[in-house]
Amino acid sequence: MGEFELIDRFFRRRGRAPRDGVALGIGDDCALLQPAAGMQLAVSTDLLVEGRHFLSTVDPRRLGHKALAVNLSDLAASGARPLAFTLSLALPAVQETWLEGFAAGLFALADEHGCELVGGDTTRGPLAISITVFGEVPAGQALLRSGAREGDDVWVSGTLGEARLALEVFRGTLVVEAPVFEAARRRLEEPAPRVALGQALRGLATAAVDVSDGLLGDLGHVLRASGVGATVDVEAAAATMAHGGAVEPQRRLECVLAGGDDYELAFTAPRSRRPEVEAAAGSAGTTVTRIGVIDTEPGLRLRDAQGRAVPGRYGSFDHFA
């Protein structure tokens, strides 16, 4: 099977009207996007490399899902609505069942979010997947990392730490019961990007980031960009972890604070807007938890529920560290 037959068979979807905002999709030299009047394009890209970001044994359907999910999570953190994406693939060989599974997982999530595949590139090489997503957001209303202010609450969506728990089990450094592992593994392999929540937080959150490299590391980006610090109640954060009781308290803290691959949103909002944040989360079908407060002193201070300082360093993932 040649390159063009492969694209045609697995990635070009016939007989579908293009979504609004997409003027031209796959097949020409460029795709053409047409955001609605008054909207800005939000653009983000991610590269997934076998052995680095996923294991060779991962179910291709789940891999297709995750490759797009991590990009949609960036749109969510910006408060953008997904429009379209491109897909660049390096494949060691054409394996039809692998490609079918990958495409099925990819398109299932794409359709859930009305995000259309509009182009890409396909080449032979060690397995790697790069997706670029395009979303739209009313001009000037994107959520940024730089808007957190003293006195704001720090919030996280959903649950944290399960992806790391699954990774530890895969590595053989943790043992849990089979149903706990299965649930955690789904969080690792099929994360649900918080796209609806991100949009609901426009005009409400003062800053936002998606949690991909670990809560404290990603929150640190917000603090530096905003020129502020924060005090975080680590027990409130740890309590979000589903099946957190399956691991000892110190491991739970590590999973929640530094685990990564959660694809939840961490965001800040003024204290006066708590009811609106709760309502936004309700309308988006996501839980949110208050885990701390922004202060003026730079850096992160960790406290337990009684307000006592919690020692320890919880680094985040860095490919070149």
Q: CA 128, CA 124: separation in Å to the nearest integer?
A: 10
Cβ(262)–Cβ(211) below 8 Å: yes
> Would you state the structure tokens that stand for residue 10, as one six-digit string?
């697995």
Q: How far is the CB of 132 from ligand ADP (least distance, A)?
A: 11
Return the CA Rg of the chain: 20
Q: How far is the CB of 87 from ligand ADP (least distance, A)?
A: 4
Q: How far is the CB of 117 from ligand ADP (least distance, A)?
A: 5
Candidate residues 9, 100, 122, 303; the one interacting with ligand ADP per rule CB under 6 A: 122
Report the interhelical angle of 178-189 vs 60-78 (nearest 10°).
60
Candidate residues 14, 29, 309, 320; the one interacting with ligand ADP per rule CB under 6 A: 29
> Residues binding ligand ADP: what is the number (CB under 6 A)?
13
Cα–Cα nearest to 34, from 118, 102, 98, 103: 118
Q: How far is the CB of 62 from ligand ADP (least distance, A)?
A: 18
Rule CB under 6 A: is residue 27 a binding residue for ligand ADP?
yes
Rule CB under 6 A: is residue 26 a binding residue for ligand ADP?
yes
Nearer Cβ to ligand ADP (111/304): 111
Rule CB under 6 A: is residue 99 a binding residue for ligand ADP?
no
Candidate residues 22, 39, 89, 288; the one interacting with ligand ADP per rule CB under 6 A: 89
Helix (H) or strand (E) holding 76: helix 60-78
Nearer Cβ to ligand ADP (27/51): 27
Q: CA 193, CA 182: separation in Å to the nearest integer?
A: 19
Helix (H) or strand (E) holding 111: helix 96-112
Q: How far is the CB of 205 from ligand ADP (least distance, A)?
A: 33
Rule CB under 6 A: is residue 117 a binding residue for ligand ADP?
yes
- CB-CB neighbours of 48 under 10 Å: 17
Helix (H) or strand (E) holding 175: none
Q: First CA to last CA across the chain, in angstroms?
A: 41
Candidate residues 22, 72, 83, 87; the one interacting with ligand ADP per rule CB under 6 A: 87
Nearer Cβ to Mg ion (117/142): 117
Q: CA 267, CA 289: separation in Å to the nearest integer?
A: 10
Binding site for ligand ADP (CB under 6 A): 7, 11, 26-29, 87, 89, 117, 119-122
